Chains A and B, each alone.
Chain A
Amino acid sequence: MINNSLKELSAALAAKKISSRELTQAFLDRIAQLNPVLNAFITVDAEKSLAQADAADKRIGQGQAGPLTGIPIAQKDIFCAKGWRTTCGSKILANFTAPYDAQVIERFDAAGAVNLGKTNMDEFAMGSSNETSHFGPVKNPWDPLAVPGGSSGGSAAAVAARLAPAATGTDTGGSIRQPAALTGISGIKPTYGVVSRYGMIAFASSLDQGGPMAKSAEDCALLLNTMAGFDTRDSTSLDRPPEDYTRDLAQPLKGLKIGLPKEYFAEGLAPDVAQAVETALAEYKKLGAQTVEVSLPNTQLSIPVYYVLAPAEASSNLSRYDGVRYGYRAPEYTDLMDMYKKTRAQGFGAEVKRRILIGTYVLSAGYYDAYYLKAQKLRRLIAQDFTEAFKQCDVIMGPTAPTTAFNLGEKSDDPVSMYLSDIYTIAVNLAGLPGMSIPAGFGANGRPVGLQIIGNYFAEAKMLNVAHQYQLATDWHLRAPQVV
């Protein structure tokens, strides 16, 4: 059962082979057993989850079930869920109980899904290894010495280790795709504006986007059907007609044109990752696809641009943590200024402080044009690279990350080397495009490799189709780690 797809679980629930309570309890038991090792969840509340499961069972009994009714889903601890502790991986929110629901949570609740608990993450989603969490690092279920990636590392580890049938993530620079790749699961970051940011704790608002993380593309499509939707409470939410993201899953791939950016297969790509990606591309050719070389000449610039824009937006967004209205307040201080400074010095971790200071610097008087405005101009050039590339192809493919999962501690003392591990994912956020990662085998060390699929704006259904057809022909997405 822990390996079943969402469709299979839904069918079992509908046929009364299992109740939502039994299903939820089974996953809660796995969490109780394995979370002490993996640290994938920050908060579990069995009573709340089981109450939702009972409500779902009632709904199923009344014949009013939807595709996700009764299915437990782990929520990244960046989504506010009313009555649930919501920490964003930070000490400053360690005792914060959300007084309202994120739109994503509202939509899962309305669909009758069960909130299985809140997953661990890099503090304020700032990290690529889950090591910046105030609640400790997450272990990669494939190898306890390895990081699970970040920032949605808890969600990725939970799905990979089968502690949850599916989970949510958010992706500002790769935070769904890179952990999906490093733990051998599937995840999609939709086009910017498709999933509401309301109640999703802000990091870099012009880049942040929520999305599903699951065992397969088909599961991701079902989850995205629930997550996507216009929301007046998010100023950049896009008012578009609802889509059925499963509609094209069965389409054959004959004639599909896959663009391969030469910059994604250049220096810095580990040979074992390159090998796995080549093998996946060969499989796509067997399925009738053709490949064409494309160029994204400004790829190298995406990291510098990101490390201006994201910290700038973060420094503004995180100014709300002042020890006055909610969250942590330092126990001792002399005056108001001292209270702000001590609260924030004690409440934020090292990576968050670095980014706030960088953001403050690039936005400070006299430097705005040289950094922030310059970065916004380069952002347009980066987006135009993709526009040009999509004139020659339907989707772009390449590695999700340059290496398989690195070891815990390997990069945590060197922020810049950590940042460089997001080289293939960041440009997609800057352009606002949808991006996906699916499992495509294993590296020399036995750790998973992710294949990245990048689509044009609003091409999610196409990308899910492209991923699903590959998953019908291969079984990488069915491999599960041997967790104790």
Chain B
Amino acid sequence: MSLTEADVKRMAHLARIEIEEQEVAPMLAQLSNIMGLVEQMQAVNTDGVAPMAHAQDLSLRLREDRVTEQDQHAAFQALAPQVEAGLYLVPKVIE
């Protein structure tokens, strides 16, 4: 299956990356090359093979339900582009 310019624009939108009109064609060419490589996978029959997510097939550990972290919001928010009164500021989303 081959990628289209519409696919590239849709992925860029889903990934929240602005893409200029003149960038679409070169991006399509590059992504199509990569997907061409990826298509080699389809030649192999994998019926009955269990998917492998991690090398050690671990299950997630559980821990006791208690507070382990200290409040560091001041230190963490000091890194943010825009903060006010302990809140992260973003452009208005509700009129």
Contact = CB atoms under 8 A, between A and B. Distances in A.
Interface string A243-256: 00000000000000
- Can you list the 10 inter-chain pairs with the closest CB atoms, starting with the nearest? A432-B55, A376-B51, A345-B18, A341-B18, A377-B46, A329-B81, A380-B52, A326-B79, A340-B16, A377-B49
B30 A354 contact: yes
Interface residues of A, number: 70
Nearest to B60: A235
A349 to B, nearest CB: 12
Contacts, number: 170
A191 B56 CA distance: 10
B40 to A, nearest CB: 5
Interface of B: 3, 7-8, 10-12, 14-19, 27, 30-31, 33-42, 44, 46, 49-56, 58, 60-61, 63, 72, 75-76, 78-82, 88, 90-93
A182 to B, nearest CB: 23
Interface string A180-196: 00000000000111000
Given A301-B44, A357-B27, A371-B38, A99 B76 contact: yes
B38 A304 contact: yes
Given A96-B79, A364-B14, A335 B91 contact: yes
Contacts of A457: 55-56
A358 B34 contact: yes
Contacts of A341: 16-18
B41 A238 contact: no
Contact of A432 (B27, B56, B88): B56
A381 B90 contact: no
B83 to A, nearest CB: 9
Interface in A40-74: none
A459 interface: no
A99 B50 contact: no
B44 A354 contact: no
25 contacts: A192-B54, A206-B54, A232-B63, A300-B40, A301-B41, A305-B41, A324-B88, A325-B80, A325-B88, A336-B93, A339-B90, A340-B16, A342-B18, A344-B17, A345-B17, A354-B34, A357-B8, A358-B35, A376-B53, A380-B49, A381-B46, A415-B33, A416-B34, A416-B36, A419-B34
A433 interface: yes
Contacts of B16: 319, 322, 337, 340-341, 344
Contacts of B3: 361
Most buried by A among B38, B54, B91: B38
A339 B91 contact: yes
A118 B39 CA distance: 38
Interface in A276-335: 298, 300-301, 303-305, 307-308, 315, 319, 322-329, 333-335
Contact of A374 (B7, B37, B46, B82): B46
Contact of B91 (A99, A238, A333, A360): A333
